[in-house]
Amino acid sequence: MKKLMVLIAAIAFVNHYNPSLLSFIWQKDGAFNASGTAKALLFVHSECGAPCNAALEHLKSKSIKHDVIDLKDNADGRKLLLRYVDSTTLPVLVVGNNIYNGFNARSYNEFLYEIKGDSIFSWRDKRVYKQHFNEFNQPKVVIYSARSCARCSDLRDDFDSYGIEYIEWDINNNSEAKIRYNILARAYGGSSDALLYVGTRRIEAFEVVGVLQAIEDLM
């Protein structure tokens, strides 16, 4: 419960002193149902080929109800896409306030957790992500770090400044954490010197804003 209160306090602190920093969190311009819950919106193109086909098949295999926007000869669809991204890389998956360009099965599942819960994951992945939650099933802020991680020092300082509690696992000295890291990093080429997570959500940029958004989404 202490972790939850600290995380909520951090969000409130940032919102009070710099509300523009979190304005994108509070606005509901993403993909949401009328009830306010997140939904999946997938932008594709009939000539996109393998990436779009893989994304469509993945959502189907996970029994995710989703809206598909085919951009071929679809001016309104392209206009809608520009509300989310300025990139032409397809497919584009929007889940709630979160956007993913291209296709990566693990990244898709980490976003779709917001809709489907942990049933989206394999049994092995469930065992990994279980370590990212506390005894009250609230998401932890987790860093998997290596000795070469130059970004980690700045991130620790930022977390301390905002009063955000986190757990850091040194993959050079913690064999169990290294196993989890290898499972997670495999989907991203295994070349990263560190991974940052909030619960099931990987935060690609080592920045506090992305962490706060994930906390808001997953609480």
Residue 176 maps to which CATH number?
Answer: 3.40.30.10
- pLDDT confidence tier of residue 1, bands split at 50, 70 and 90: very low
pLDDT for position 63: 94
Q: Give backbone dihedrals phi and psi of 206, rounded to 5 degrees, phi first.
A: -80, 70
Q: What angle do CA 180, 183, 185 make, to 5 degrees?
A: 100
Mean pLDDT of the chain: 86
Distance CA 208, CA 117 (A): 24
pLDDT for position 191: 61
Q: Are 77 and 88 in contact (CB under 8 A)?
A: no
130 and 212 fall within a common domain = yes
Distance CA 140, CA 13 (A): 19
Distance CA 143, CA 198 (A): 9
- For residue 151, pLDDT over 80 is answered with yes
Q: Are 197 and 167 in contact (CB under 8 A)?
A: no
180 and 101 fall within a common domain = no
132 and 104 fall within a common domain = no
Distance CA 40, CA 55 (A): 12
Other Cβ atoms less than 10 A from the Cβ of 32: the count is 16
Closest CA to 184 of 117, 116, 133, 127: 127
Identify the domain boundary among 118, 144, 166.
118
pLDDT for position 5: 45
Tell me whether residue 20 is in a domain.
Answer: no
Number of domains in the chain: 2
158 and 143 fall within a common domain = yes
Tell me whether residue 55 is in a domain.
Answer: yes
For 59-81, write each residue's pLDDT tens digit: 999 999 999 999 999 999 999 99
Identify the domain boundary among 97, 118, 139.
118
160 and 186 fall within a common domain = yes
Tell me whether residue 156 is in a domain.
Answer: yes
Q: What is the domain range of residue 162?
A: 121-218
Closest CA to 143 of 183, 193, 186, 216: 193
Tell me whether residue 102 is in a domain.
Answer: yes
- When pLDDT is averaged across residues 10-29 and rounded to a whole number, the result is 44
Report residue 180 as tokens: 């989890």
Query: 149 Cβ partners below 8 Å, 6+ apart?
Result: 193, 194
Residue type, 121: F
82 and 134 fall within a common domain = no
